[in-house]
Amino acid sequence: MKHGSDSYVIKCVNRLGSLVRGLVFCVLLVSVSAVPIRAADQSTSIPVPLLDAAPNINGVIDDSWAKATRVALTYDFTNRRAADEPTTAVIAQDETSIDVAFDVSQHEELVAANETNGSSVLSDDYVGVYLSPNGSLGFQYAFFANPHGARYQTSSENSAYTPAWNAYAKRTPAGYTITLRIPLNVIRSGGRTDWRVQFVRATVHANALDVWAFNDHATSFADATYFGIATGIGAKAPATRPRARAQVYGLGEGTNARNGGDTSRVGADLSIPVAPTASVLASLHPDYSNVETDQQTISPTAFAHQYSEVRPFFTQAGSSFNYNVVNINGPLLFYTPSIPTFRDGYALEGTQGPLTYAALDAVGVDRTDEAQALDYNVSNTTRSFGVNVQNVDVNGDVDGIPGVHDDLTSITSGYANQHSHEIAFLNYALEDGSTITDPSQAKYLQTGYGYATATTTAFLLYEGMGSQFDPLDAYVAQNDINGPALYLSETVPFKANTILHDIQFTSYDSNFHDRLGQPSQNNASGQVNVDFSNLLTVHAYYGEEAVRTNAREFLPFDGSGFLIGYKFATSTPTYVSYQGGHYYHGELDAWTYLTTLRLAPRVHLTLETDEDQYLSVYPGEMRTNQWLERASLDFQISKEMQFDLGARRLIGSYLPGASFAPDFTPVSGGNVSAAFHFLSRDGKSEFYAVYGDANSFSTTPAVFLKYIRYLGAPKGT
């Protein structure tokens, strides 16, 4: 496409750039008729009976469950064979909830280290149910529980989805049982009564993921296209419009005058449904203290760290952005952590049939960030197709420079043949604004063709990115790259009851050049993972990477080595790893030793030590070591409460990065931090108490207290 055509496209899309027009456009979409679920797409169909009274949710499948529907989880999706041990899932409903139970037989040792609700549940043995009210379209929900009854849940509508629901577990002579109760009013069903459903059971020792509904063409057990159908859900209690949510918080900080002095802050986040599957959002005086975030790992890297978003406004409003059929090491075209603290924000988001849409406006002091997205996705047992159109604007004062304008327009799309497993994709973006002097250098393209199954992935792609492509609200690891890349992955499962579980092979190779035809980024990496039946794992990896710095040097960031670990993928891992090779102006040897010990049923201690030795061969540049020592204590007080205490010491010298000049100034600092978190069982109150900042180099002498009250709908719904 010629530059004149590019400018025309940008101007046309920018006419939709204001939030007001974006909201009007999204409201019109609410009236689009939804695509119904077709039972012919999935042969596995079960009724969900309405019980006379709610069954007992006490970890026992007793007579109160007698009329419920029972199904067997007969297929091990991970190992592509029949399940080794029997698992029965039970489903029914009462007037307000979906009731699910699991009867699990397990002869292996149970892995259940977590007793507090949270994402770590997925590193234990667990059971779960996936619910997709709108079939392969719209929002998907999942609810998990481990043998302690600790819970975790996810939703594609909000990355902070945390409704109040119940799970109780009991050990049995054969294994364990778990009963779940999921309120209907925490799921946006749009009034539909026939839902796509999948039941799963994970076993760490067997490296198995057993499922109910299975199809040979499925590449993921969580793909709703291949779920079974559960009929009659909510038929006796018709769905109403979801409840509004007001999330009101108060934050207090106590610190010394040198650190800014004591301060306080109050604000609110609002979610107001305007249709069964659409909501208007608002954020007034939002909090950006990040007391919810975890400690980040310190290690040399060729690229900037990427952070997760925790601000409620973006966890919901941002769920419609960055849709890609395939994106292999490409940029995030809308990266909300780049948006600084704003004064207030407004958005509309939702789904209707094959359409998912969002428009948001974050208004700060002398700066406004706007974004709109429209996704169209179709998926059935023969084909899958998707296209996303997205626009992101930044206007105002950026880093002290007034009058900055930045506009990014993108389209991403792809097509997959579900039978042949062939996939073709295209990701394209244009940037325009006050910082762009050469529009031909403000483009991004990634396109490719590949093959993907549950165990095999192969893609050949081309990526091109101009030297001026660096949108303010995007995450770009490195620009000014052009060239081909190849990605391969293969998993080979072994038969049951053998010493080997599986072997995994991965490889990534690229050869990128800059606009002058000089090498810009090269990658040649491979890794072999061997998993044994006794939870021992061995990784061997080879990596040669080189990147061009801002100083126009083409420097290596190689990393070849190994890892030997025990319970590596669980919450209590022990491992030693080595990585070394050509690095910057010399060589780097990096060792990591880590173990997590169970001190008591609810208490774990993690100990880690890292040593990086940089051996420079550059004239006048020093050789240096860097040591990182870390210890953390995790006390899981209850399912709703958790306390963590961390101590970290870094000594030696800062190591160089790829895009900045080296700074070998000797450093020696320690950091102590502590955090307490409580979320009430009914999901109405949440409290954080934090000392210090786990991400800072040295201890931050500050205490943060944050209280959140949820009025109406629960957190993240």
**pLDDT of 352 above 90:** no
pLDDT class for 331, splitting at 50, 70, 90?
very high
**pLDDT of 282 above 50:** yes
Handedness of CA 120, 126, 132, 137 (dihedral sign): positive
**pLDDT of 255 above 80:** yes
Q: Which residues contact 513 (CB under 8 A, 6 or more apart)?
A: 481, 482, 483, 519, 520
- For 667-702, write each residue's pLDDT tens digit: 788 889 899 999 999 999 999 999 987 767 788 888
Across 7-107, the runs of DSSP E, i.e. the strands, are 45-47, 69-72, 75-76, 81-82, 87-93, 97-105
- HSE-CB at 585 with a 13 A cutoff on CA atoms is 16
Q: Compute the mean pLDDT over every residue in the chain, rounded to the nearest whole number.
A: 87
Look at residues 597, 607, 601 and name the one whose alpha carbon lies nearest to residue 628.
607
pLDDT class for 278, splitting at 50, 70, 90?
confident
Q: Which residues contact 430 (CB under 8 A, 6 or more apart)?
A: 6, 9, 10, 408, 409, 410, 439, 442, 443, 444
Give the pLDDT mean for 641-645: 93
> Cβ distance 560 to 541 under 8 Å?
yes
* pLDDT at site 319: 86
Give the pLDDT mean for 362-389: 94
Give the pLDDT mean for 456-483: 95
Number of residues that this document lists for the chain? 717
Q: Which helix (H) or strand (E) holds 403?
A: strand 401-417
Give the pLDDT mean for 176-203: 94
Give the pLDDT mean for 103-124: 94
How far is residue 424's CA from residue 450's CA, in Å, rounded to a whole number? 6
Q: What is the percentage of the chain residues whose pLDDT exceeds 90? A: 64
Q: Which residues pair with 670 in a beta bridge?
A: 649
> Cβ distance 370 to 361 under 8 Å?
yes
pLDDT class for 2, splitting at 50, 70, 90?
very low
What domains are defined for the chain? 39-231 (2.60.40.1190), 277-284+309-479 (no CATH), 484-679 (2.40.160.10)
* pLDDT at site 238: 53
Q: Which residues pair with 566 in a beta bridge?
A: 536, 574
> Cβ distance 406 to 433 under 8 Å?
yes
**pLDDT of 20 above 60:** no
Three-state DSSP class for residue 608 = strand
More confident residue, 41 or 185: 185
- For 542-590, write each residue's pLDDT tens digit: 999 988 877 778 888 898 999 999 999 999 999 999 999 998 888 889 9
Look at residues 86, 158, 167, 175 and name the one whose alpha carbon lies nearest to residue 128.
167
How far is residue 112's CA from residue 116's CA, in Å, rounded to a whole number? 11
Cα distances (Å, whole numbers) of residue 46 to 109, 227, 413, 497, 580: 32, 11, 34, 33, 55
Give the pLDDT mean for 230-243: 75
pLDDT class for 276, splitting at 50, 70, 90?
confident
Look at residues 385, 377, 333 and name the one whose alpha carbon lies nearest to residue 351.
377
Give the pLDDT mean for 598-623: 89
